Amino acid sequence: MENLTNIFLFLSNENEGIQLNTDIFEANIINLALLIVLVINVAKDVLGSILSARKASILDKIEEADKKLNEADKRFTEARLQWSQANIFGEDLEKKTYQRINAFHESQNLKNKDALLREYFSTLVVLDLKNEQVQKQVRNYVMELALIEVYGVFTKLVANKKFQENYSNYSVLLLEKLIGEK
């Protein structure tokens, strides 16, 4: 330790003391300032291009999800059309059953009338069950498509290292901006 102190005293006496170098060219201050400005400009361009690429990717995913939604909507419309056709068939069947009931009521006895009423109500129950089944299938299909899409997007985002790095960098930049405003 004593040797280190002696070396320091020797150097300070030889150079007439310790002084601040005010020559900006010799101290490399201009070079450092230019390097800092260059790094800031390059980082801004790179970050801008990364963010614009991410934005384009997100817009593509939104368009893809919109297409899938339109497809699910189309299938839902088809199912609704089938449901309305089943209702028309049911109404037609209902009219025919009423006609049969009236014809048998006039010509047949009470037993035949009871059998037709049971057939009518069982037909209504079957139609209601089919209607509920179709609606349930459509709801399940739409929910399945939505869950598959959400799971896929979420999995890709979580697995993407660049997204995680960009999100971390973006959070740091926002925090620095927030601290700088106070």
- In which domain, by residue range, is 125 found? 30-138
In this structure, is residue 9 part of a structural domain? no
The reported pLDDT for the residue numbered 60 is: 93
Tally of structural domains, the chain? 1
* 3-class DSSP assignment, residue 182: coil
Q: Radius of gyration over alpha carbons of the chain, in Å?
A: 40
Query: Angle 47-28-24 (CA atoms, 0-180°, nearest 5)?
Result: 120
Section 75-99 average pLDDT:
88
Q: Is residue 25 part of a domain?
A: no
pLDDT at 103 over 80: no
pLDDT tens column, 126-138: 889 999 999 999 9
Helical ranges in the chain per DSSP H: 2-14, 24-27, 29-107, 110-159, 161-181
The string of pLDDT tens digits covering residues 24-40 is: 666 677 778 888 888 88
